[in-house]
Amino acid sequence: MAKLTKGRMAPDFTLPDQEGKERSLKDFQGSWVLLYFYPKDDTTGCTKEACAIRDEFPKFKKMKAVVLGMSADTTASHKKFAKKYHLPFILLSDTLKKVLKKYNVYGKKKFMGREYRGILRTSFLIDPKGRIVKIYEKVKPALHAEEVLGDLKVFQK
């Protein structure tokens, strides 16, 4: 799959959320969208990232931005994760990894000298017309929400 770039239309998809409801990216056209991909529910970095976004969520809402988190975890895992940490945003389940691969965020990773395939912590900021305006790679979980909000302010001027 070719790497997505800034300026391209974000590929549409339909996946179940933590409640089992089917959600499509096109359903959010007309809003800004932070689409963030993370490796695994209830792990240290992923929890930090989700909670940082949760803590800043009122600012995302005020800026008319939708937050969509995505991993290969099941809807049941997402539901438990969202409930445990009071996450007010949508978590999408891509157990077959089709969307992860379409967005080129499933690939080689290295940890303690071992190579394996997994989800690369990456986010896409998508404008109301569905165009990718920024791609965040190698995201720092605790600082990501603030970084995206700063960029949203710039893009919304």
- Quick one: average pLDDT of 5-13? 96
| Contact yes or no for 4/103 (Cβ under 8 A) | yes
Does the reported pTM lie above 0.75? yes
Quote the pLDDT of residue 85: 98
30-62 burial code (b ≥16 CB/10 A, e <16): eebbbbbbbbbbeeeebbebbbbbbebbeebee
Question: What residue spans define the domains of the chain?
Answer: 31-155
Quote the pLDDT of residue 2: 60
**Structure tokens belonging to residue 54:** 């949760």
Mean of the per-residue pLDDT values for the chain?
95
What are phi and psi for residue 101, nearest 5 degrees?
-75, -40
Q: How far apart are CA 51 and CA 156, in angstroms?
A: 24
pLDDT band at 56 (very low <50, low <70, confident <90, very high): very high
Angle of helix 44-62 relative to helix 144-155, nearest 10 degrees? 30
Class of domain 31-155: alpha beta
Active-site residue set: 46
